Amino acid sequence: MQSPTPFARIGTRGSPLALAQANLVRDLLSKAHGVAKDRIEIEVFSTGGDRSQKENTTLADIGGKGVFTKEIDEALLSGRIDIGVHSSKDVATGLPDGIVLAAFLEREDVRDAFISVSVKGIDNLPQGARFGTSSIRRAAQALRLRPDLRIVPFRGNVHTRLQKLLDGVADATLLAMAGLNRLGEGHRATTILDPQDFMPAPAQGAIGLAIRQGDTHSAEIIAPLDHAATHMAIAAERTMLSVLDGSCRTPVGALTTRENGVLTLKGEILSLDGQTSFRAAASGDDPVALGAAVGRDLLDQAGPDWLGQWAK
């Protein structure tokens, strides 16, 4: 007997966090449409970012954010899958032709968590302590407070990085609370950082769903999962990032809040050593206009050569 046609085909990376996110999407689709979970297929892809795990490389070195989505994008465009499930902060601002980020699940905790097996907070680290991160944003924000810290490369999935702490590779690190929560590891956080001081990465904590442009069937399938407030916030933050030409080469933070229907976007750019930074903020109801305004304000403050001076 021939198997029934899949209701939807999901593409994802193979890390524990990516699989948890893909399974969440499958659960939500199953509930929203009243279909059995086994009719929603999940296909796992090994991306270039997953295959390149050399400790002394940064995201910029291996090709930028697109290295975490390229294989899934290709499968979407070829019709092999219908939906790509991504951590939105890992999606480049310039999407491949023919692909759109059409929906976003309700955002998880946007904050970063300080994690250490020896001290409570970044202020308690000893002079010259080893701070493990391969995020230039997190490195810059840590160095702004503690320029004495030694930044050591710290790549790998969440569990790998937690194990590296236990193995003594570094004295502390920062991880996204969203990822920890989705893996049931929220208790690992030693201290949860104030996002006003440690602005998260743009789009941090939001699961984005990519589909083929013009694919009305897939658009209808994922529409019930789209969280309007999250969609607006991510649109604002990604627009800001696009205006800044922001990428994995530059430390950029963003924080969006919503009160009484009004969005407020705060943005930040930093030098690699964290000693120079600029901030801007704006409020409104048009997320794209808001993101563009904050991005332009930051550019005006930093000057036309900021990217060349600070980019790595």
Are the C-beta atoms of residues 206 and 108 closer than 8 Å to each other?
Answer: yes
Sequence-distant (≥ 6) Cβ neighbours of residue 20 within 8 angstroms: 182, 183
Catalytic-residue membership of 90: yes
Phi/psi at 99 (5° precision): -125, 140
Number of H helices, E strands in the chain: 10, 13
Q: Which of 90, 109, 215, 297 is catalytic?
A: 90
Q: CA-CA distance, 214 to 216, in Å (whole number)?
A: 6
Beta bridge partners of 175: 113
How long a stretch of residues is the chain? Answer: 312
Choose among 163, 186, 167: nearest CA to 176: 186
Q: Please return the burial class of 25, using the count of CB atoms within 10 Å of its CB with bins 0-12, 13-18 and 19+.
A: buried
Q: Residue 154: how many CB atoms within 10 A of its CB?
A: 23
Q: Which residues are catalytic?
A: 90
